[in-house]
Structure formats: structure tokens, C-alpha cells
A and B are shown apart, each in its own frame.
Chain A
Amino acid sequence: QKEVEQDPGPLSVPEGAIVSLNCTYSNSAFQYFMWYRQYSRKGPELLMYTYSSGNKEDGRFTAQVDKSSKYISLFIRDSQPSDSATYLCAAENSGGYQKVTFGTGTKLQVIP
């Protein structure tokens, strides 16, 4: 079992829809959680970086972490065709340097 599990999709939604992307994890030591966006033939780009449980909002993006259920979510409001990309969730332990563990990514397509 991978430490961070993510549905690969693809997920296809109409423009303007609310998108929900989800991951589960198994390592209780994970304290920091991230979402990266990766366009085709590009490196991943950090979208959200959160600590422990709770919500964090940045524009149209909201990251949510529920440590009790080991569940990570990313919500995209008013989705745009430019949001079409692969979204990777990731997690790391606390205490300075630790290797980041990535999910396999969910491919999202927003249809105009």
C-alpha cells in the first residue's frame, strides 16, 4: 500500500464547476500537506502548503486536511480551462528535513 493514495482520474468537469480532489494517507507522522499542479511536460508547481488539520484558502483554491480520517482535499471554485492539469497531493513528517511523499496525481480536464 502506498503511503499517499490518490485516484488517478481522469476527472472531467464543465467550466465554472466546483472541483473536489482527494487523497488519503496512512502515515500518522505526516504533519505537513501540499498540493502541486503539473501541466503537461512541465515540473510540478506548489499550489498549497498546510500544517496539520484545518482549511487554508488562496483565491479559488481551498485545501482541507482531516488528520482524524487521514484525508486531504483540494477544492477549486469556478473552475477554468486553464486549471486543466494533473494535481498531486503530498505529505511530509514534521521536524525539518524529511522526504516528501507524493500521490500519483489526478488528471483534471475543465471543458469550456
Chain B
Amino acid sequence: GAGVSQSPSNKVTEKGKDVELRCDPISGHTALYWYRQSLGQGLEFLIYFQGNSAPDKSGLPSDRFSAERTGGSVSTLTIQRTQQEDSAVYLCASSLRGTGGYTFGSGTRLTVV
């Protein structure tokens, strides 16, 4: 597609439930990133995928968070046993060569009640 596509755009879930967030990057972009944006906190790096290399998971806040990227394209971020502090906008970005010239999606706004 023309841009980075994320779904769902909004998700309300009950505390303790699992959620899956999807990202479809720009075709041909080898690098894919997940960030989390909370009010007043800026963008927090979560995980990075580059081609067939092992992902950089250093930003994942706990073992409840995991992500995969299938076939070098679509990525899914999974949050297990959601907590209220997980409420945020989850942003996916892709880039051609892993530099900072990212293209972001519009994000998934997650609310845990």
C-alpha cells in the first residue's frame, strides 16, 4: 500500500485480556518498528525488525509484550494480560534502510478498562 497501515485504529479491552495489534508496512521497507506513545511521555521504543536479523526487543517493557513479523512484511504486537498502564497509542513505523526517516502509521489507541 501507499502508507503504513495499522489495525484496529481503536481498541477497548478489559484488564487481564490479551490483545493483538497489526501493522502492515510499506512494501519493500525492510525495517519495521513499534513505538508506544503515552500522554506527556513522548515516543517509547518497543521493538525493531530488520530483514531476517534477530529483532531488537530491548524496549519491550515486560514479558507480557511480544511481537512477530511474518515473511518480512506484516507484524503483530501482542500484549497478554493487559493492565491499565498499557493504555497508550501504539505506533508502527517502517523505513527503507533502518535509518530515522521513518514512515509512521496512524496508530492503535488502546484503552484498558
Partner of A99, one of B4, B45, B105, B106: B45
Give the chain B neighbours of A104 by CB distance below 8 A.
Answer: 40-42
Interface residues as binary, B46-71 with A (CB distance below 8 Å gives 1, 0 otherwise): 00101000001001000000000000
- Do A105 and B100 have beta carbons less than 8 Å apart? no
Q: Count how many chain B residues have C-beta atoms less than 8 Å from C-beta atoms of the other chain.
A: 26
Partner of A45, one of B41, B42, B100, B104: B104
Interface residues as binary, A58-74 with B (CB distance below 8 Å gives 1, 0 otherwise): 00000000000000000
B21 within 8 A of A: no
Interface residues of B (CB under 8 A from A): 4, 31, 35, 40-43, 45, 48, 50, 56, 59, 91, 93, 97-107, 109
Sort A-B residue pairs by CB-CB distance and give the 4 closest, nearest first: A43-B104, A97-B98, A104-B42, A102-B43
